[in-house]
Amino acid sequence: MVLPTVGDTVSMCSCALLLPAVLLALLAVLITTVASVRQEHENHVGTGRVRDQDLVASYVHELAFVADVDGWLRYVSPAGTASLGLHPDDLVGYGWRQRLHSDDLDHVTAAFERMTLGDPTVECTARVRHTDGTWRWYATRLGTGGIAGRTPDRIIGVAHDITASIVRQHWLEHTNAELEHVAATDALTGLPNRRRLDEVRRATWAQARRNSEPISMLVIDIDNLKAYNDRYGHDAGDRCLVTVARTVAAALRRATDVAARYGGEEFVVVLPSTTSDGARRVAESLRDAVRAGALPHAGVSAGIVTVSVGVATTTPDREDDGSLFTRADAALYRAKERGRDRVETAPPIPGSR
């Protein structure tokens, strides 16, 4: 057997002496903790009757409330009302509808009615007015406080402030919409760009195929734009492009008609459900509108900016979208060859309208 050394003996004695001190310290901490809890409890007890809902609500930062089935508030949690800049006394005894956004009244009222008809829980989202005049979004879960099997006599609700999430969601939606708009828009003219034009052409073609309808396309070119740039400068040339683009877009009468910048000084107009005669009339109206703008161009005999237009019409069972564009583009070049400032129509595909 190994006997303890003098050093071991001293160490064990030291531990024996320290143990009561450690226990006393732990006991002191425990007494302090119990006293703290008791004092907190007494603060809630007040006159000796504990208000359980206040005791629970003091630990909850949500907006908790109790309302009767007619909508009058019986109880509102202090922490929850503080998030609206209010005190419970500002709400208790009043109807919950008074601070609700008018657009949300109907569906929240319907949620309360569902509770009275027996639904155990109902969820709804609504805006509540803050004292500073702004609106806070709350996601609310409702339950009944009545006895099982009887008509509920009160509605209990817990509402979570989701304003930050809603604002973030709206910001993201707005940002995404802006990005999508930028990605589909020509930066100079504001018209749909080539990417967006391709989407429109595919969608219009699919619709025409489903409905067995004709589809027409115009290809428009500003006459002598190079000479315009040489005489007036490229900044003026850009302004000329913008002016013609706005004129073309304004001359279209139907919401389904789409004008886009194809590239350079060329524009394309897609005309759903439009026959060859109808497309020709649209093309002539566009040409006339540009002439009526009377944008000076001293470098040409007309003295003003003009456009040439190629027109083609088909039905999807006769050719594809690419072929339709090719024929409209070929018609444009014939207009150029025949003197500019004119409309030329591509020969019809047999069977097209």
Run of H or E residues at 55: helix 52-57
Closest C-alpha among 53, 101, 102, 104 to residue 80:
53
**Is the pLDDT confidence value at 33 over 80?**
no
Run of H or E residues at 343: strand 343-345
Domain CATH number, residue 157: 3.30.450.20
Reported as a single tens digit per residue, the pLDDT across 130-168 is 989 899 999 988 887 655 556 677 888 888 888 989 889
Residues 62 and 161 in one domain: yes
Residues 278 and 223 in one domain: yes
Q: What is the pLDDT of residue 51?
A: 56
Residues 224 and 332 in one domain: yes
Report the distance separating Cα 4 and Cα 128, nearest Å: 76
Is residue 223 domain-resident? yes
For residue 282, which phi and psi values (nearest 5 degrees)? -65, -45
Q: How many CB atoms lie within 10 A of CB 283?
A: 29
Task: Enter the pTM of the model.
Answer: 0.60
Question: Which residue type does 106 have?
Answer: D
Residues 190 and 161 in one domain: no
Run of H or E residues at 327: helix 321-337
Report the distance separating Cα 117 and Cα 107, nearest Å: 15
Which residues are registered as beta bridge partners of 185?
A: 192
Is 273:213 a contact under the CB 8 Å cutoff? yes
**Number of domains present in the structure of the chain:** 2
**Which of 140, 167, 194 is at the close of a domain?**
167
Place of tokens 């509540």: 128
| Most confident segment among 60-64, 118-122, 223-227 | 223-227
Is residue 26 domain-resident? no
Residues 204 and 247 in one domain: yes
Which residues are registered as beta bridge partners of 161?
A: 138
**Is the pLDDT confidence value at 306 over 50?**
yes
Is residue 2 domain-resident? no
Is residue 202 domain-resident? yes
**Which of 134, 167, 200 is at the close of a domain?**
167
Please give the structure tokens belonging to residue 227: 């000479």
| DSSP SS3 for 295 | coil
Reported as a single tens digit per residue, the pLDDT across 63-99 is 888 888 778 888 888 877 888 888 888 888 887 788 8
Task: Domain of residue 108: give its range.
Answer: 53-167
**What does DSSP assign to residue 140?**
E
Residues 200 and 309 in one domain: yes
Closest C-alpha among 312, 255, 251 to residue 282:
251
Residues 325 and 205 in one domain: yes
Residues 196 and 338 in one domain: yes
Q: Which residue has the higher pLDDT, 143 or 307?
A: 307
Report the distance separating Cα 158 and Cα 140, nearest Å: 6
Residues 113 and 207 in one domain: no
Q: How many CB atoms lie within 10 A of CB 266?
A: 16
Residues 194 and 332 in one domain: yes
Residues 196 and 335 in one domain: yes
Cα dist from 243 to 52, 155, 268, 275, 293, whole Å: 73, 63, 16, 28, 9
Residue numbers annotated as active site: 265
Is 215:209 a contact under the CB 8 Å cutoff? no
